[in-house]
Amino acid sequence: MDIPSYMVGVGKQARAASRLVARADTATKNKALTLTAQAIGRDVRRLLDANAKDLDAARNAKLDAPLIDRLTLTEKTIAGMADGLRQIAKLPDPIGEISELKQQASGIKVGRMRVPLGVVAIIYESRPNVTADAAGLCLKAGNAAILRGGSEAIHSNQAIAACVHEGLTSAGLPATAVQVIETTDRAAVGELLHMNEYVDILVPRGGKGLIERVMQESRIPMIKHLDGVCHVYIDDKADIEKAIRIADNAKTQRLGTCNTMETLLVARGIADKVLPTLARIFRDKGIELRGDDAAREIVPGMKPATEEDWYTEYLAAILAVRVVDGLDQAIEHIAVYGSQHTDAIVTEDAARAQRFLREVDSSSVIVNASTRFADGYEYGLGAEIGISTGKLHARGPVGLEGLTSLKWVVFGNGEIRT
Report the chain's terminal Cα–Cα distance, integer Å. Answer: 58
DSSP class per residue in 203-259:
EE-S-HHHHHHHHHH--S-B-------EEEEE-TTS-HHHHHHHHHHHHHS-SSSTT
CB within 8 A of 101, min separation 6: which ones?
Answer: 109, 110, 111, 409, 411
Pairing of strands 98-103, 109-116: antiparallel
Instruction: Say if CB 402 and CB 394 are below 8 A apart.
Output: yes
Q: Is 201 in the site for a copy of itself (CB under 8 A)?
A: yes
Q: Is 248 in the site for a copy of itself (CB under 8 A)?
A: yes
With CB under 8 A as the contact rule, the residue among 143, 151, 156, 362 that binds a copy of itself is 362
Residues 388-417 that bind a copy of itself (CB under 8 A): 390-393, 395-397, 405-417
Which listed range, 52-60, 183-191, 206-214, 369-377, lies at the site for a copy of itself (CB under 8 A)?
369-377
Q: Is 349 in the site for a copy of itself (CB under 8 A)?
A: no
Pairing of strands 288-291, 318-324: parallel
Please give the size of the binding site for a copy of itself, defined by CB under 8 A. 69
Whole-angstrom CA distances from 93 to 22, 137, 139, 336 are 12, 11, 10, 40
Instruction: Say if CB 124 and CB 134 are below 8 A apart.
Output: yes
Q: Is 176 in the site for a copy of itself (CB under 8 A)?
A: no
150 versus 397: smaller Cβ distance to a copy of itself: 397
Distance in Å, CB of 229 to a copy of itself, minimum: 16
Q: Is 358 in the site for a copy of itself (CB under 8 A)?
A: yes
Q: Is 378 in the site for a copy of itself (CB under 8 A)?
A: yes
Cα distance between residue 156 and residue 147, in whole Å: 13
Q: Is 172 in the site for a copy of itself (CB under 8 A)?
A: no
Q: Is 241 in the site for a copy of itself (CB under 8 A)?
A: yes
Distance in Å, CB of 56 to a copy of itself, minimum: 36
41 versus 96: smaller Cβ distance to a copy of itself: 96
CB neighbours of residue 333 within 10 Å: 18
Residues 92-151 that bind a copy of itself (CB under 8 A): 96, 102, 104, 106, 108, 110, 113, 115, 117-118
| Backbone phi and psi for residue 25, each to the nearest 5 degrees, phi listed first | -85, 170
223 versus 324: smaller Cβ distance to a copy of itself: 223
Cα distance between residue 299 and residue 227, in whole Å: 29
Cα distance between residue 119 and residue 364, in whole Å: 28
Distance in Å, CB of 236 to a copy of itself, minimum: 17
Q: Is 7 in the site for a copy of itself (CB under 8 A)?
A: no
Distance in Å, CB of 183 to a copy of itself, minimum: 28
Which DSSP symbol is given to 263? E
- Per CB under 8 A, residues contacting a copy of itself are 19, 22-23, 96, 102, 104, 106, 108, 110, 113, 115, 117-118, 200-201, 215, 219, 221, 239, 241-242, 245-246, 248-250, 253, 335, 344, 357-359, 361-370, 372-374, 378-380, 390-393, 395-397, 405-418
